Amino acid sequence: MSRTVKNALISAAVLVVIAVVSVTCLMLANAFLPKYTPTLDIKKIGQLRQVAPVEADDSTALSDGYYSIVGSDAFDLEKFNTDNRTVGEVLAVYKVEKGENAGMYITETKTVGYGSQNTVLLTAYNADATVAGLIKLRDDGDYLLTDSAQYEALRNAVIGKKAMTTDEIKIATGATANGSISGIEKNLRLSGDLIVLLLGEGE
């Protein structure tokens, strides 16, 4: 066996070992790290009011139950996330219970954006599954979301749409960072697919 072939086999074996170790670490992390548990506190109410406004102030909206967390009786979130694990993760779904936007769903989604960093968005949806409002909850230095002009352009452009392609995001925002654009597109696609499921439009 030539030295070249032997080196190639050794390199391949090393890569296999690295892959196995990486997958094992991810499995252990998923098994033992605490999963995200949504809560309705005063901070969350303030965020929800930004995308799906109600006439009550934060304190009243919290105490009078203007918003709720959508539970597992409405849909199987764990299965949805498993089926869409290559896209991202839905952390929580909320619903407006009272006021002018009663019945509106709001998703909290996490995907990987620029530089393999997490991007978390809160997106509200109308009854026809179009976006009613969007804010960032976490951007980890994502170029598109930290640039105020691009961020506002994205928020304005997505209103009334069910999703946006990467090209549409580029045109609307002027962004050039492909990682950022991909993270936003995945967030919108993930949350949009779930809203279609909740509203029964996919049946």
Question: Are both 90 and 129 inside the same structural domain?
Answer: yes
Q: What is the pLDDT of residues 87-110, one digit of tens each?
A: 999 999 999 999 999 999 999 999
Question: Are both 55 and 90 inside the same structural domain?
Answer: yes
Question: Are both 141 and 108 inside the same structural domain?
Answer: yes
Question: Are both 57 and 155 inside the same structural domain?
Answer: yes
Range of the domain at 3: 1-33
CA 180 to chain centre: 13
Strand order in the sheet with 105-112: 67-69, 89-96, 105-112, 118-125, 131-138
Question: Are both 83 and 64 inside the same structural domain?
Answer: yes
Longest dimension (CA), the chain: 77
Task: Tell me the pTM.
Answer: 0.78
Question: Are both 77 and 1 inside the same structural domain?
Answer: no
- H-run or E-run covering 91: strand 89-96
Return the amino acid letter for 166: T
Strand partners, 123: 107, 134
- pLDDT at residue 190, rounded to an integer: 94
Q: What is the pLDDT of residues 34-54, one digit of tens each?
A: 566 888 999 999 999 999 999
Question: Are both 146 and 63 inside the same structural domain?
Answer: yes
Q: What is the pLDDT of residues 64-79, one digit of tens each?
A: 999 999 987 778 889 9
Question: Are both 107 and 161 inside the same structural domain?
Answer: yes
Which is it for the CA torsion 103, 37, 20, 115, positive or negative?
positive
Query: What's the structural domain count of the chain?
Result: 2
Return the amino acid letter for 151: Y
Question: Are both 4 and 49 inside the same structural domain?
Answer: no
Question: Are both 27 and 61 inside the same structural domain?
Answer: no
Question: Are both 27 and 42 inside the same structural domain?
Answer: no
Question: Are both 25 and 42 inside the same structural domain?
Answer: no
